[in-house]
C-alpha cells in the first residue's frame, strides 16, 4: 500500500515538473503574445477615442478626469509591453539549441520567424510614440533588434495569432517633439533686461494672441492635474508610512514580541533611566501613603501593611515598565518597515516626484518677496535660531524614549552644537548661491527683516 502511494506521489511530482518545464519552454512566445496584445489594446484606444492619433494627455477633447483614466490605462499597457519584451529577450537568450530540441520533442510548435518579426515591428511602432529621449536610452536593449531565429526553431503553438494579423507599416521614426531640449529652470534664466520688463512684454503678447484663450484653458488643466497629482502623492507619503507602522506594530511585530515575551522572561527595564523613574515613582508612592495616613489621623501603618502596599505598587510599576519596554522594541521594527515603505514609494513614483517638484517650484517662485523672506526667517529661527536648541533637545529626548534608548546628555549637547550650525551654513550658502541670483529683491527684503 505504501509503495502504491509513493508511486502516485512520484507521478504527481513528475507531471508537475513536466508542466513547469513546458511552461518554461513556452516563455518566449507567451511573453511576446502578451506584449503584442498590450500594443493592440493601445492601438484600439487610439482608433476609438483619438481618431487613430497618439493618446495625448494634454488633449482638449475630453475632461481632466477622462484624460486621467486614459493616462492610467496607457501607463499600465506600456509597462506590460516593455516588461514582456524584456522577458522575451531574456528567455530567448537562455533558450539554446538543446532547449529547442527538447521543445520539439515535447510537441511544442512555434510560429514562423516572419510572424515574430512582424509582431516585434508592430509593438515597436506603437510604443515608440510614447518613448521619450530618456526612455530611448534605457529601452534600446528591449525591442528594436529581434533575436536570430532559425527557420526550424521555436516559439509556440498559438495558431490563433496567424488569423487576422494586420499588415503593419514600417517603424515610425522619432518625432520632432521627442527631440525638444529640456526647458531651462528659473535658476538658469539670465538676460540683459530685468525679468519684470520681459514678463510684461510676454504678457502683452499673450493677451494679443487670438489663440491665447485656448492656451490659458490648456495651461489651467495642466496646472489642475499637477496640483491633484501632487496633493495625492503628498497624502500617500504621509498615510502609507503611518499605516505601515500601525499595521506592522499591531499584526506583525506585536504578536512576535508578545509571543517571545510569553515564552521567555523579558527584561523589565531597557535602560537605566526607566529603572530610575520606576524607583522614584515607588518612593513617591511610599511617601504619599504615609502622608495620607497622617492626614486621616489614623494609627500608624504596620511594617507588614506598608510592605504589602509597596509590593502591589512595585508589581504595577514592573508591568508598566515591561509594557513600555516591549512597546519600544515594537516601535524600532515598525519604524524600519515604515522607512522601507516610504523608500519603496519614492522608488516606484519617480514621475510623481518630478510633478511634485514642479508643483513646489510654481508655489515657491510664485510667492512675493516679503513672503519668501518671511518663510526663510521662520524656518531659520525654528531650526537654527537662538531658541532652537530647546526644540532639538525635546525632539531628541522624544525619539530616544520612542525607541527605548537612554537620553545621553553628552550626545544631545554635541548634536545641538554641530547640526544647527551645519544647517545654518547650508541656508546661508543657498541664499548666497541661488536665491541671490533668482530673486535679489527677496534677499534684500530678508536682510531688512532680519536686522
Cell of residue 428, nine digits: 546661508
Which phi and psi angles does 28 have, rounded to 5°? -60, -45
pLDDT at position 21 is: 61
- Mark whether 45 and 147 lie in a shared domain: yes
Mean pLDDT of the chain: 75
User: Does residue 44 carry a pLDDT above 80?
Assistant: yes
Flag whether 233 is in a domain: no
- Mark whether 303 and 417 lie in a shared domain: no
Flag whether 220 is in a domain: no
User: Last residue of a domain, which of 323, 350, 377?
Assistant: 350
- Mark whether 323 and 413 lie in a shared domain: no
Flag whether 276 is in a domain: yes
SS3 per residue for the chain? CHHHHHHHHHHHHHHHHHHHHHHHHCHHHHHHHHHHHHHHHHHHHHHHHCCCCCCCCCCCCCCHHHHHHHHHHHHHHHHHHHHHHHHHHHHHHHCCHHHHHHHHHCCCCCCCHHHHHHHHHHHHHHHHHHCCHHHHHHCCCCCCCCCCCCCCCCCCCCHHHHCCCCCCCCCCCCCHHHHCCCCCCCCCCCCCCCHHHHHHHHHHHHHHCCCHHHHHHHHHHHHHHHHHHHHHHHHHHHHHHHHHHHHHHHHHHHHHHHHHHHHCCCCCCCCHHHHHHHHHHHHHHHHHHHHHHHHCCCCCCCHHHHHHHHHHHHHHHHHHHHHHHHHHHHHHHHHHHHHHHHHHHHHHCHHHHHHHHHHHHHHHHCCCHHHHHHHHHHHHHHHHCCCHHHHHHHHHHHHHHHCCCCCCHHHHHHHHHHHHHHHHHHHHHHHHHHHHHHCHHHHHHHHHHHC
- Mark whether 302 and 165 lie in a shared domain: no
- Mark whether 304 and 380 lie in a shared domain: no
Domain interval for residue 141: 2-179
Q: For residue 446, count CB atoms less than 10 angstroms from its CB and return exposed for 0-12, middle for 13-18, buried for 19 or more.
A: buried
Q: Average pLDDT, stretch 364-388? A: 84
Flag whether 84 is in a domain: yes
Q: What is the pLDDT of residues 48-91, one digit of tens each?
A: 888 778 887 766 667 777 777 888 888 888 888 888 888 788 77
Q: Distance between CA 180 and CA 203 in Å, rounded?
A: 24
- Mark whether 122 and 255 lie in a shared domain: no
pLDDT at position 147 is: 42
Q: Tell which residue, 135, 167, 32, has the closest CA to residue 92.
A: 32
- Mark whether 24 and 161 lie in a shared domain: yes
- Confidence class of residue 178 from pLDDT cuts 50, 70 and 90? very low
Q: What is the pLDDT of residues 199-231, one digit of tens each?
A: 777 777 766 777 777 777 887 888 888 889 999
Compute CA distances 81 → 30, 42, 150, 311, whole Å. 12, 10, 24, 70
- Mark whether 442 and 318 lie in a shared domain: no
- Mark whether 126 and 258 lie in a shared domain: no
- Mark whether 16 and 147 lie in a shared domain: yes
Count of CB atoms within 10 A of residue 442's CB? 21
Say what the pTM is: 0.51
User: Does residue 42 carry a pLDDT above 50?
Assistant: yes
Flag whether 262 is in a domain: yes
Q: What is the pLDDT of residues 130-158, one digit of tens each?
A: 875 434 434 443 343 444 444 343 333 44
Q: Average pLDDT, stretch 20-28? A: 68
User: Last residue of a domain, which of 140, 156, 179?
Assistant: 179
Flag whether 445 is in a domain: yes
pLDDT at position 243 is: 94
- What is the b/e burial string over 34-51, where b = at least 16 CB atoms within 10 angstroms of the residue's CB? bbbebbebbeeebeeeee
- Mark whether 139 and 270 lie in a shared domain: no
Flag whether 340 is in a domain: yes
Cell of residue 385, nine digits: 535660531
What is the number of domains present in the chain?
Answer: 3
User: Last residue of a domain, which of 162, 179, 196?
Assistant: 179
User: Does residue 336 carry a pLDDT above 90?
Assistant: yes
Q: Average pLDDT, stretch 305-318? A: 86
User: Does residue 437 carry a pLDDT above 90?
Assistant: no
Question: Most confidently modeled of 153-157, 234-238, 258-262?
Answer: 234-238
Q: Tell which residue, 424, 426, 446, has the closest CA to residue 436.
A: 446
pLDDT at position 237 is: 92
Compute CA distances 373 → 131, 370, 376, 426, whole Å. 41, 5, 5, 16
Flag whether 384 is in a domain: yes
- Mark whether 166 and 59 lie in a shared domain: yes
Amino acid at each position: 500500500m505504501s509503495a502504491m502511494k509513493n508511486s502516485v506521489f512520484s507521478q504527481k511530482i513528475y507531471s508537475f515538473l513536466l508542466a513547469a518545464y513546458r511552461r518554461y519552454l513556452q516563455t518566449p512566445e507567451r511573453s511576446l503574445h502578451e506584449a503584442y496584445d498590450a500594443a493592440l489594446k493601445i492601438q484600439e484606444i487610439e482608433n476609438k477615442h483619438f481618431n487613430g492619433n497618439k493618446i495625448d494627455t494634454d488633449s482638449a477633447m475630453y475632461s481632466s478626469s477622462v484624460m486621467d483614466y486614459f493616462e492610467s490605462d496607457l501607463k499600465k499597457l506600456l509597462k506590460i509591453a516593455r516588461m514582456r519584451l524584456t522577458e522575451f529577450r531574456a528567455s530567448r537568450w537562455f533558450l539554446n539549441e538543446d532547449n529547442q530540441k527538447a521543445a520539439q520533442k515535447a510537441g511544442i510548435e512555434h510560429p514562423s520567424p516572419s510572424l515574430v518579426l512582424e509582431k516585434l515591428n508592430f509593438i515597436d511602432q506603437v510604443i515608440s510614440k510614447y518613448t521619450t529621449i530618456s526612455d530611448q536610452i534605457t529601452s534600446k536593449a528591449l525591442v528594436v533588434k529581434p533575436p536570430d531565429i532559425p527557420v526550424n526553431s521555436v516559439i509556440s503553438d498559438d495558431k490563433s495569432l496567424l488569423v487576422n494579423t494586420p499588415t503593419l507599416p514600417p517603424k515610425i521614426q522619432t518625432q520632432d517633439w521627442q527631440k525638444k531640449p529640456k526647458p531651462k529652470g528659473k535658476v538658469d534664466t539670465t538676460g540683459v533686461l530685468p525679468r519684470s520688463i520681459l514678463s510684461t512684454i510676454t504678457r502683452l503678447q499673450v493677451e494679443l494672441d487670438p489663440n491665447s484663450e485656448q492656451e490659458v484653458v490648456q495651461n489651467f488643466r495642466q496646472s489642475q492635474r499637477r496640483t491633484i497629482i501632487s496633493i495625492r502623492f503628498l497624502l500617500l507619503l504621509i498615510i502609507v508610512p503611518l499605516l505601515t507602522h500601525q499595521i506592522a506594530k499591531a499584526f506583525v511585530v506585536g504578536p512576535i514580541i508578545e509571543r517571545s515575551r510569553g515564552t521567555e522572561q523579558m527584561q523589565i527595564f531597557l535602560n537605566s533611566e526607566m529603572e530610575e523613574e520606576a524607583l522614584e515613582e515607588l518612593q513617591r508612592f511610599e511617601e504619599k501613603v504615609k502622608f495620607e495616613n497622617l492626614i486621616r489621623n489614623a494609627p500608624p501603618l504596620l511594617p507588614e501593611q506598608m510592605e504589602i502596599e509597596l509590593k502591589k505598587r512595585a508589581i504595577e510599576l514592573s508591568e508598566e515598565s515591561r509594557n513600555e519596554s516591549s512597546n519600544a522594541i515594537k516601535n524600532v521594527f515598525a519604524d524600519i518597515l515604515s522607512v522601507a515603505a516610504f523608500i519603496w514609494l519614492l522608488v516606484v513614483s519617480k514621475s510623481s516626484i518630478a510633478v511634485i517638484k514642479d508643483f513646489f517650484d510654481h508655489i515657491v517662485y510664485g510667492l512675493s518677496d516679503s513672503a519668501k523672506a518671511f518663510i526663510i526667517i521662520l524656518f531659520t529661527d525654528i531650526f537654527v535660531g537662538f531658541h532652537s536648541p530647546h526644540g532639538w533637545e525635546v525632539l531628541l529626548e522624544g525619539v530616544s524614549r520612542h525607541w527605548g534608548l537612554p537620553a545621553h546628555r553628552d550626545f544631545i549637547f554635541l548634536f545641538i552644537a554641530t547640526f544647527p550650525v551645519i544647517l545654518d551654513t547650508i541656508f546661508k550658502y543657498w541664499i548666497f548661491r541661488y536665491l541671490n541670483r533668482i530673486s535679489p529683491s527677496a534677499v534684500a527684503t530678508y536682510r531688512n527683516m532680519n536686522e
